[in-house]
């Protein structure tokens, strides 16, 4: 199945095949979600079969909207598809742009809408093994220490969010 994502080509937003956007390093739209419980963040380990950054730890959910899909709708869809997580209320935390090499000649050049959500007491997870191999709750300060001690275990975007945008991401947490 070909997935078309919104990317800028010659200054114009255009539907582009997702893998092609990453091969060409095109600037494209994305969403990232941080689900929080007190001072802890739910992080996920990307499945071994992912085409880039397999086995690395990332924030709760990150993805690309389909062409003409609203960012919040995309975030809710992917929380369900990746983690079986429904019934959360998202808060838009802001927008971030970054560019990072993610291995195998692929580049993420993303304009990311960042969302946060508070975990509910009844929240359950049902991991999609094609997307996520495991999850865990980590206090934010412990996560920062883990990333500093072993950055190679974490996705480039999570490292960027924590290093450059943590205040925005966690402002209303």
- Read off the pLDDT band of 121 (50, 70, 90): confident
* Closest residue by Cα to residue 157 from 149, 145, 169: 169
With 90 as the cut, is the pLDDT of residue 147 above it? yes
CA 160, 118, 163 angle in degrees (round to 5)?
15
Active site residue 62: yes
Give the chain's end-to-end CA distance (angstroms, integer).
Answer: 37
State the average pLDDT over residues 59-77: 95
Query: How far apart, in whole angstroms, are the C-alpha atoms of residue 17 and residue 119?
Result: 33
Q: What is the pLDDT of residue 26?
A: 95
* Closest residue by Cα to residue 26 from 132, 111, 96: 111
Backbone angles phi, psi at 32, to 5 degrees: -135, 140
Domain ranges (residues) in the chain: 4-169
Q: What is the pLDDT of residue 173?
A: 59
Active site residue 134: no
Single out the catalytic residue among 62, 74, 108, 113: 62
Q: Coil, strand or helix: which one is 137?
A: strand
| Per-chain mean pLDDT for the chain | 94
Instruction: Give me 10's structure tokens.
Output: 């010659």
Single out the catalytic residue among 61, 74, 108, 110: 110
With 90 as the cut, is the pLDDT of residue 85 above it? yes
4-169: CATH homologous superfamily?
A: Nucleoside Triphosphate Pyrophosphohydrolase (3.90.79.10)
Q: What is the pLDDT of residue 12?
A: 95
- Read off the pLDDT band of 172 (50, 70, 90): low
């Amino acid at each position: 199945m070909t997935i078309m994502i919104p990317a800028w080509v010659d200054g114009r937003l255009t539907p582009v095949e997702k893998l092609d956007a990453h091969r060409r390093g095109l600037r494209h739209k994305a969403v990232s979600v941080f689900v929080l419980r007190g001072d802890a963040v739910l992080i996920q380990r990307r499945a071994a079969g992912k085409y880039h950054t397999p086995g690395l730890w990332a924030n709760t959910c990150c993805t690309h909207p389909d062409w003409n899909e609203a960012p919040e709708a995309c975030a809710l869809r992917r929380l369900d598809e990746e983690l079986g997580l429904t019934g959360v209320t998202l808060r838009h935390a802001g927008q971030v742009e970054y560019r990072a090499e993610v291995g195998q000649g692929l580049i993420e050049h993303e304009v990311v809408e960042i969302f946060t959500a508070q975990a509910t007491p009844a929240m359950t997870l049902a991991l999609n093994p094609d997307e996520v191999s495991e999850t865990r709750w980590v206090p934010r300060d412990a996560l920062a220490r883990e990333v500093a001690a072993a950055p190679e275990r974490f996705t480039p975007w999570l490292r960027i969010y924590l290093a450059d945008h943590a205040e925005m991401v966690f402002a209303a947490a």
